[in-house]
């Protein structure tokens, strides 16, 4: 009888251990895009599905869109502090936190989202910007396509036309350039823009075509200037503590779904949405102007080049002596990554 009870206890213990080993782990992902957007469905939900399938159901990703778990400007810290297991956010929301990463956002570096994704992920993989993310476990990095200028009531053709206009700035770097051209830069997360523009709090904004569609801003704007003076850098990153808690097998699943492959997938989704956003504006009869080569344009070259140089010099004054070198490397990668 005693032997039978012992065998039963051992068997029960083994079953309990098995259940613990095979228990489902839920990873909470925070981001700012709407739940119904293609960005959420085709990137984040697709990533979650693949992780769940490759882990045989041991990993479950619970997605919190539209800033429901963390505000956009606090999302990276939410991952660093373990409030979120995974966060996806734009580095520009945290001014000064990712200075070398933001070099990719400078005018003329990114011509398309897939190209920008390749540039940014390459800089991370090759160690140029990896030190800025040491407090989290980076999954993949990518960029938006070029951001342009969009206004509700004022047609913009030259920098002088920005004088006095209240324009939403996507980052500190882009804001400085707007300020140098006489605009009044306003900072706010993307989900708040629709209401601010609708209420007349601002006159226009800087956004890629993708975001004009995803956040429905095309509904409120009538004029668009395609001057590619900025691109948004984005990071999908994981709490280091959450990653460390996983078994080696589950860490391998995460690792297999990190890096360049997912960076490029994200870039392709953004590129598709850029095309759709532009088509939407054209279809509703909006006025579009295009600056083909802003860094050689007689009106736009001077303020954009000056803004770039001011930013790089400021980084070097902070002791980031490799700022110019990383900028030159980003330009070289631009040619290598051309889609």
Tokens of 62: 């619970």
Distance between CA 309 and CA 124 in Å, rounded?
22
In tens, the pLDDT along 93-113 reads 988 999 999 999 999 999 999
**How confident is the model at residue 14, as a pLDDT?**
39
- Nearest by Cα to 269 from 112, 136, 140: 112
Q: What is the pTM of this model?
A: 0.90
Report whether 202 contacts 152 (CB < 8 A). no
Distance between CA 312 and CA 102 in Å, rounded?
10
Check whether 18 has a pLDDT greater than 80.
Answer: no
Could you tell me the pLDDT band of residue 5, with boundaries at 50, 70 and 90? very low
Average pLDDT over residues 155-173: 92
Region of poorest pLDDT, from 19-28, 158-167, 219-228: 19-28
In tens, the pLDDT along 117-126 reads 999 999 999 9
- Nearest by Cα to 45 from 225, 200, 260, 269: 269
Average pLDDT over residues 294-314: 93
**How confident is the model at residue 217, as a pLDDT?**
98
Report whether 240 contacts 135 (CB < 8 A). yes
What does pLDDT average to over the chain?
Answer: 92
In tens, the pLDDT along 177-186 reads 898 899 999 9
**How confident is the model at residue 152, as a pLDDT?**
97
Report whether 38 contacts 269 (CB < 8 A). yes
Average pLDDT over residues 224-246: 96
Could you tell me the pLDDT band of residue 171, with boundaries at 50, 70 and 90? confident
Contacts of 329 (CB under 8 A, 6+ apart): 123, 128
Check whether 338 has a pLDDT greater than 90.
Answer: no
**How confident is the model at residue 180, as a pLDDT?**
87
């Amino acid at each position: 009888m005693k032997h039978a009870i012992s065998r039963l206890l051992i068997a029960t213990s083994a079953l309990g251990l098995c259940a613990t080993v095979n228990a489902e782990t839920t990873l909470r992902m925070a981001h700012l895009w709407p739940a119904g957007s293609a960005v959420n469905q085709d990137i984040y939900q697709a990533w979650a599905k693949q992780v769940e399938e490759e882990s045989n159901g041991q990993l479950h990703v619970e997605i919190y869109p539209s800033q429901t778990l963390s505000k956009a400007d606090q999302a990276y810290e939410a991952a660093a502090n373990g409030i979120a297991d995974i966060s996806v956010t734009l580095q520009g929301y945290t001014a000064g936190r990712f200075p070398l990463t933001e070099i990719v956002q400078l005018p003329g570096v990114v011509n398309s989202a897939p190209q920008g994704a390749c540039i940014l992920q390459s800089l991370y993989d090759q160690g140029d910007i990896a030190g800025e993310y040491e407090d989290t476990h980076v999954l993949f990095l990518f960029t938006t396509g070029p951001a342009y200028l969009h206004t509700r009531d004022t047609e913009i053709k030259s920098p002088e036309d920005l004088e006095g206009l209240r324009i939403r700035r996507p980052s500190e770097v882009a804001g400085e350039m707007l300020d140098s051209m006489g605009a009044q830069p306003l900072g706010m997360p993307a989900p708040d823009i629709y209401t601010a523009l609708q209420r007349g709090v601002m006159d226009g904004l800087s956004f890629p075509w993708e975001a004009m569609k995803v956040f429905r801003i095309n509904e409120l704007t009538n004029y668009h200037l395609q001057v590619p003076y900025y691109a948004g850098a984005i990071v999908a990153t994981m709490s280091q503590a959450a990653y460390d808690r996983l078994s080696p097998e589950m860490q391998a699943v995460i690792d297999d779904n990190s890096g360049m492959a997912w960076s490029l997938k994200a870039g392709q989704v953004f590129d598709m949405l850029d095309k759709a956003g532009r088509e939407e504006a054209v279809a509703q009869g909006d006025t579009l102007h295009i600056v083909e080569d802003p860094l050689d344009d007689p009106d736009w070259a001077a303020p954009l080049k000056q803004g770039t140089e001011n930013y790089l010099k400021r980084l070097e004054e902070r002791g980031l002596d490799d700022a110019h070198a990383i900028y030159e490397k980003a330009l070289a990668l631009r040619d290598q990554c051309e889609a």
